[in-house]
Amino acid sequence: MPQVAARISSDQERWLKDYFRTKSAGAEFILPWAVDTFFRAIGSLKGAFTAGELKTIVDAHKDVRLLPDTTRLSYLLLRVLDACEANGIHTRHGASKTSLEAKIKRLDDTQATAIMVWAAAYWVSRTCSATSLDEYIRTY
């Protein structure tokens, strides 16, 4: 199995040891579970947004570094609506700001986090380009 090094807090380390006996055993369970949960969340959102709305969400996350404390529904809504107001990105992608806002408000925090991680990941991917954005949206 491939090795992954992650940075965790002391509280997270203690939690892993308490629930799984060792940090390694906990990490071996939690990481694959988190990845699977992320992809299930993204998959469940697949039909909820139009391509233009997804492009707007991705565009709103350009040059954004996500932190665990800022991956919630309220931050997603703020980031996307602010980008729409300030830069009109929704019009560039052919999306309705009102429709997009309503759809985002229906998400829970886990779904919002998944879509934020997915959107921000595009900008650090190896295939980041205007033409690859269409492909990224399609394979989402």
Q: What is the pLDDT along the chain (140 residues), one digit of tens a residue?
A: 677 777 888 898 889 889 998 888 888 899 889 889 888 888 888 789 999 999 999 999 998 999 888 899 999 999 999 999 999 999 999 999 999 999 999 999 989 999 999 999 999 887 666 568 888 888 76
Domain shared by 74 and 126, yes or no: yes
Task: Identify the pLDDT of residue 1.
Answer: 64
Would you say residue 132 lies in a domain? yes
My answer on whether 72 and 26 are in the same domain is no
What number of other Cβ atoms are within 10 A of residue 37's Cβ? 12
Q: Are residues 36 and 84 located together in one domain of the fold?
A: no
Instruction: Identify whether residues 67 and 126 lie together within a single domain.
Output: yes
Q: Rounded to a whole number, what is the distance in angstroms from the first to the last CA of the chain? A: 26
The pair of three-digit structure tokens given for residue 136, joined into one six-digit string? 């990224």
Token pair in block for residue 44:
């469940």
40 and 70, same domain (yes or no): no
Q: 60 near 89, Cβ under 8 Å?
A: yes
Based on the structure, what is the number of domains in the chain? 2
80 and 96 inside one domain? yes
Residues 65 and 125 reside in one and the same domain: yes
Contact residues for 95 (Cβ-Cβ < 8 A; gap 6+):
50, 52, 53, 55, 56
Q: What is the model's pLDDT at position 12? A: 87
113: tokens are: 């986090």
Q: Which domain holds residue 119?
A: 51-139
Domain assignment present for residue 86? The answer is yes
Any domain includes 2: no
CA distances from 73 to 7, 99, 126 (A): 25, 16, 27
Give the E-state strand segments of 43-101 in sequence order: none
Domain assignment present for residue 84? The answer is yes
Distance of CA 120 to the CA centre of its chain: 6
Same domain for 75 and 120, yes or no, is: yes
